[in-house]
Structures are given as C-alpha cells and as structure tokens.
C-alpha cells in the first residue's frame, strides 16, 4: 500500500485581494498567489503596504519594480501586494504591526520569515532567494497536496461531529473540555465541529487549522508507521507545537510524545476502501480539566 504525503495544513480563508493594477511579476490577488504556490512549490512573498506610508512609496519606486526584484518574482517567489487599509483582517492574521512588512509563507502555509522596514534591491532579492531555499520541493508538489488534502477530507467526512461535540477552541486555548453548541457549527477538512458560542465560532472560522485536530483527527503515529488512516480518540489527545493530535490508543500517544517530530505522514497511499479501525476504546472523557 502506498503512503500518504505529509499533511499540509494551510490555515488560509479564501481571499480575493483586489488592489491597484499589478506590475509585472507582482500579483494583487492573494488567493491566486497561494494557489500558484501550491502548484509550483514556490513560497509566497506578501508585501504589506499603505498609500500613506512614506517608506512604502520609496520601496515601490526604487526596489519593488527593479529588474532584479521582478526577475526574482518570476523565479524564486510568488509575490503579492496587500494594502493594509483595505485588508486589515489579513494584516492582523499575519501579525503586521508596522509598514512596510514582508511575510514569506511556504506552499504548506507556514511562515518562513518576516521583515519590517525598507531594504535595498540586493537585500530584497537575497531575502526572496533565502525563502525559496527553505522550501523542500519533495513535499510541496500540487499532486501531493491534492492527494493529502482531498483524501483526508474525504475519509474524515464520514465521521460524526468532531471531538464528540467538544469545542476545539476551548480545548486549544484553555485545555478544557467544553461542550459545543450545534447552533455554532462549522465544517473544516471534512469534519463538523461545534463551538461554545458566537465568539468561539468566529475564532475558529478565522483560523481553523489552529484549533482543529491535525491530520483531520487521524492517529499521526499509525499514519506514519503503518500507513493507515486510523481515527484518533479524544481521550488520547496530545499537543505538539500548539497543534492538537488525536491518538487511537494510549500506547500510540505515549510513543508519539517521546518523539513527536519523528512521525511525519507517509509519502503516499492509495485511498483505502474504508477507514482502518482498531478495537473500540472505552474511557471517560474529562469534563473539567484539559489534555
């Protein structure tokens, strides 16, 4: 049986970033830039600016449209400009507090680097080249991305309510088991989650990858070692790098926590006819404390 590609969590809402007319090599549609990054395996360079920002205007006139930078836009990075005044939520998502700011994002959605302030042409091109060098093309091809995302979503869509109805936001933020309300429901990566209230719902919608279990709730160790998609249990959850993981058994959880970075998803796997299963687990779920 072939193996799954490394799970790629993008954590981006669909965005149509419309600004002024694009210069050659620069895009003004963030959604299109992110999609092209997935297809090419190149990182995304997001340049945040504002019309009232003096240093931004200087960068625009002396650096961003230089031949060297435009060449790098076509070879090293997928470059996109975002006007902070028009897209404050996007700027907040990427932690932009000053202008100009450049954020480099991998094809898998991870922030590779961040730079604030002006830069010379050579400095700017060097930053773009460094970001491109950080991307592993073996894990970012469009085929692998499509296989992993589509397959895990397809398998997870057959589940019931995710986390058995407990709020993923409360669990991630406070490490507390809080029952969600079906009135505040949202589907992510094939799984329906219940949030406790309207505020939690907005938090989850803004960045579902931050709160939802990784690998759509499948056991990461079994996925890596055995190449099987085995649903994890909420009684055997763990956190690694602030991401929630669900494990099928206590033994799997303990082994994973000994070396959590040592269990990447397998390279590829054919779609199984059914989700792999283990013996049923009977355990009490904590109601006051978290994982």
CA distance 110 to 289: 30
Burial class of residue 108, CB neighbours in 10 A (0-12, 13-18, 19+): buried
53 is catalytic: yes
73 is catalytic: no
Q: Rg of the chain over CA atoms, in angstroms?
A: 21
CA distance 137 to 156: 27
244 and 211 Cβ atoms separated by less than 8 Å = yes
217 and 238 Cβ atoms separated by less than 8 Å = no
Q: Which of 9, 33, 44, 56 is catalytic?
A: 56
Structure tokens, 281? 């687990």
In this structure, the strands spanning 44-49 and 78-83 are: parallel
Task: Using alpha carbons, select from 272, 265, 269, 226 the residue that is nearest to residue 249.
Answer: 226
Q: Which of 53, 76, 191, 269 is catalytic?
A: 53
- CA distances (Å), origin 27, targets 32, 88, 207, 209: 8, 18, 23, 25
Active site residues: 53, 56
């Amino acid at each position: 049986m072939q193996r799954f590609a490394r799970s790629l969590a993008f954590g981006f809402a669909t965005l149509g970033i419309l600004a002024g007319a694009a210069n050659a090599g620069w895009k003004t549609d963030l959604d299109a830039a992110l999609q092209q990054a997935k297809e090419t395996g190149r990182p995304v360079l997001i340049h945040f600016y504002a019309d009232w920002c003096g240093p931004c205007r200087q960068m625009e006139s002396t650096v961003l449209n230089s031949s060297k930078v435009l060449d790098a836009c076509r070879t090293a990075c997928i470059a996109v400009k975002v006007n902070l005044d028009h897209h404050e939520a996007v700027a907040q998502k990427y932690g932009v507090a000053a202008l100009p700011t450049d954020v480099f994002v991998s094809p898998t959605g991870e922030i590779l680097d961040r730079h604030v302030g002006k830069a010379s042409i050579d400095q700017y091109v060097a930053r773009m080249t460094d970001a491109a060098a950080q991307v592993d093309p073996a894990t970012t091809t469009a085929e692998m991305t499509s296989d992993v995302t589509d397959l895990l979503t397809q398998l997870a869509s057959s589940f019931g309510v995710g986390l058995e109805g407990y709020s993923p936001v409360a669990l991630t933020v406070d490490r507390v088991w809080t029952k969600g309300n079906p009135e505040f429901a949202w589907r992510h990566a094939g799984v329906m989650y219940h949030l406790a209230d309207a505020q939690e719902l907005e938090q989850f919608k803004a960045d579902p990858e931050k709160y939802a279990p990784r690998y759509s709730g499948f056991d990461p160790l079994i996925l890596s070692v055995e190449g099987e998609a085995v649903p994890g249990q909420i009684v055997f959850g763990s956190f690694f790098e602030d991401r929630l993981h669900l494990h099928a058994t206590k033994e799997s959880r303990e082994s994973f926590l000994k070396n959590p970075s040592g269990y990447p998803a397998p390279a590829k796997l054919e779609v199984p006819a059914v989700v792999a299963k283990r013996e049923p687990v009977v355990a009490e779920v904590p109601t006051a404390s978290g994982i």
